[in-house]
Amino acid sequence: MFTVRTKIILAYTIVFGIMLTVFAVIIYKSIQAAAISKLNANLKSYAFSLHTEIEEQLDEKPTLNLKEIASIKADGLSGVHFQLFNAAHKKIVVDSVLQNVAFRNSQKLLSNDSFFENLKINNENYRVLWSLLQTEDNTPYLLETAASMKDVHSELQYLLYLFFILIPSGLLLTGITAFFISKQAFKPIIEMANTARTISGSNLDKRLDLPKANDEVKFLGETLNEMISGIDDAFKAHKQFIANASHEIKTPLTIIQSELELLEQKLKDEKDSENLKTALSEIENLSKLTGSLLVLAKLDSSQMPLQREPIRMDELLIECAQYLKLKALRKNIKFNFLFSDPVEILGDNEKLKSVMINLLDNAIKYSRENSVVNIKMGKLNKKYIEIRIKDDGIGIKKEDKNKIFERFFRSSDVRAEKSGSGLGLSIAYEIVRKHSGKIEIESEFGKGSIFKVILPLNGR
């Protein structure tokens, strides 16, 4: 499909092309009419001179002096010829070029003393004037005067060549002019679109640069800025609500959990104790959820700055695996470390540790029993390292891959079987993004997943 800009250029060029063509046709017809009119006038003048000479000669004697008649100048004409017919249309004076031309338009002479017509003789176009003349004794004669139209056609042919050069050149120039004018006109719109693409939830305070001209483009920019401001206000209110709610809920949950733990120690009834453990488990899950929401709110509002320090990533990964060792042992899952060389980067140790724990925890959670989780790390190039965490779990469906880092998203295949809030990967994604890195995923449903974490060595 054509862009709006291309459509405008095409429309402008086509309209201008039609105007040029119409103008060219009008000019051509006008010049053609003027040239024919001039030829007619010259031919009429020449015929009048012939009339005068022939009438004078016939009044004096019955024979004509053709040499004198032929010596009459035909100003402005080329290739002139004439023939003379008597009243019976019999040729008295015969021309070698016009000898095969017979008079066929008696009706026209009944209403006019003369008339013009175009004839093609020996593959050449001629303008022919038929006119009546009379001697003093009222004897009628018919004079046929012809002049070549070669000069007229040459002039018109030159004009056509000129049009064939000027019209395409004019269209090309129009297209180029329209291209640059539209480029300049659409420049502020393109700049606004490029700026709008860079605006996300993390920089809603950014605004579009408005053009100086007080036109429709500026009005569009102002409208978009107002819309972004409204989204920013709503987003801030939303984040503030989550932060406040998470903070307010966390404190009573901690108190309730502590009270229930004390109560559990005093209970002797096994059934009541079991019910209490279930309540404690749910409160713990709710506490984790509020904690995750609080972390996300802080990440969104940039209230959680990164503490950049040198980190040995090989040691950090081993530490995270050790932290989850007991959980892995319950399913008889082993960690297989594949490190090429020790790698040190600049980053926030605690936050990156939470990322790796989350990814390893997911690998354990979704892996089969008696399986292996491979942890591979090495330099991707001079600027980045890559960490791969591979499991042989249930994998991720193709349609779920693009949603896996969305908040609260959990695949329908695991929602009922595995506990979780759907926030862990979202937090990991945001932390890695704030380190100027990225998380990628390779997965095939039923065959496991590979989570790739790419981080800059310098932390930026």
Same domain, 334 and 452: yes
In a domain, residue 75? The reply is yes
**Nearest C-alpha neighbor of 297 from the set 230, 206, 236, 233:** 236
Best CA proximity match to 109, nearest among 69, 138, 144: 144
Spatial contact of 2 and 10, defined as CB atoms under 8 Å apart: yes
Q: Is 233 within the bounds of a domain?
A: yes
Q: The domain that contains 54 carries what CATH number?
A: 3.30.450.20
Q: 331 with 437, same domain?
A: yes
How many C-beta atoms lie closer than 10 Å to residue 275's C-beta? 12
Q: Give residue-wise pLDDT tens across range 159-169.
A: 999 999 998 99
Percent of the chain whose predicted confidence (pLDDT) is above 90:
20
Whole-number Å distance between alpha carbons of 36 and 332: 106
Residues 253, 343: one domain? no
Could you tell me if 391 and 269 lie in one domain? no
> Are 86 and 10 contained in the same domain?
yes
Locate 353 and state its tokens.
Answer: 């540790």
- Cα separation, 267 vs 273, in Å, equals 6
40: Cα within 13 Å, side-chain hemisphere: 13
Confidence at residue 19, expressed as pLDDT on a 0 to 100 scale: 92
Asked whether residue 418 carries a pLDDT value surpassing 60, the answer given is no
Residue 141: per-residue pLDDT: 86
Q: Which residue(s) pair with 442 in the sheet?
A: 450
Q: Which two tokens stand for residue 397?
A: 């469906």
Whether residues 266 and 399 share a domain: the answer is no
Assigned token pair, 429: 């994604």
Count the domains in the chain.
3
Same domain, 286 and 338: no
Asked which of 265, 300, 335 is the last residue of a domain, the reply is: 300
Q: Are residues 260 and 336 in the same domain?
A: no
Query: Does residue 177 lie in a domain region?
Result: no
Q: Are residues 313 and 394 in the same domain?
A: yes
pLDDT at 13 exceeding the cut of 50: yes
| Final residue of a structural domain among 133, 156, 179 | 156
Q: What is the pTM of this model?
A: 0.51
φ/ψ bin of 363: left (φ > 0), alpha (ψ from -120 to 50), beta (otherwise)? alpha
Is 176 domain-assigned? Answer: no
313: CATH? 3.30.565.10
Q: Are residues 257 and 400 in the same domain?
A: no
Evaluate whether residue 173 is within a structural domain: no
Rounded Cα–Cα distance for residues 366 and 327 (Å)? 12
Same domain membership, residue 146 and residue 87: yes
Predicted confidence band at 336 (pLDDT cuts at 50, 70, 90)? very high
pLDDT of residue 410: 65
In a domain, 195, yes or no: no
The token duo for 23 is 């103008």
φ and ψ of 457, to 5 deg: -65, -35
In this structure, the strands spanning 372-379 and 334-339 are parallel
**Last-in-domain residue among 137, 156, 175:** 156
Backbone angles phi, psi at 345, to 5 degrees: -130, 170
**HEC string for the chain:** CCCHHHHHHHHHHHHHHHHHHHHHHHHHHHHHHHHHHHHHHHHHHHHHHHHHHHHHHHHHCCCCCHHHHHCCCCCCCCCCEEEEECCCCCEEECCCCCCCCCCCCHHHHHHCCEEEEEEEECCEEEEEEEEEEECCCCCEEEEEEEEECHHHHHHHHHHHHHHHHHHHHHHHHHHHHHHHHHHHHHHHHHHHHHHHHHCCCCCCCCCCCCCCCCCHHHHHHHHHHHHHHHHHHHHHHHHHHHHHHHHHHHHHHHHHHHHHHHHHHHCCCHHHHHHHHHHHHHHHHHHHHHHHHHHHHHHHCCCCCCCCEEEEHHHHHHHHHHHCHHHHHHCCCEEEEEECCCCEEEECHHHHHHHHHHHHHHHHHHCCCCCEEEEEEEECCCCEEEEEEEECCCCCCHHHHHHCCCCCCCCCCCCCCCCCCCCHHHHHHHHHHHCCCEEEEEECCCCCEEEEEEEECCCC
What tens digit of pLDDT does each residue of 19-47 get?
A: 999 999 999 999 999 999 999 999 999 99
Residue 272 belongs to a domain with what CATH number?
Answer: 1.10.287.130
Residue 101 pLDDT > 50, yes or no?
A: yes
Q: How far apart are CA 428 and CA 439, in angstroms?
A: 8
Could you tell me the residue range of the domain that residue 33 belongs to? 4-156
The per-residue pLDDT of the chain, averaged, comes to 81
Q: Which of 318-332, 350-364, 423-437 shows the lowest mean pLDDT across its residues?
A: 423-437
**Which of 288-292, 303-307, 315-319, 428-432 is the least confident region?**
288-292
pLDDT in tens, 244-292: 666 556 666 666 667 666 666 666 666 666 666 666 666 666 666 666 5
Find out whether 120 and 150 touch, Cβ atoms under 8 Å: no
- Residues 133, 115 within the same domain: yes
Distance CA 373, CA 364 (A): 8
Domain assignment present for 186? no
**Does 198 have pLDDT greater than 70?**
yes
The predicted-structure confidence for 36-92, as pLDDT tens digits, reads as follows 999 999 999 999 998 888 888 887 777 788 888 888 888 888 889 999 888 778 888
Cα→Cα distances 317→47, 257, 420, Å? 113, 31, 23
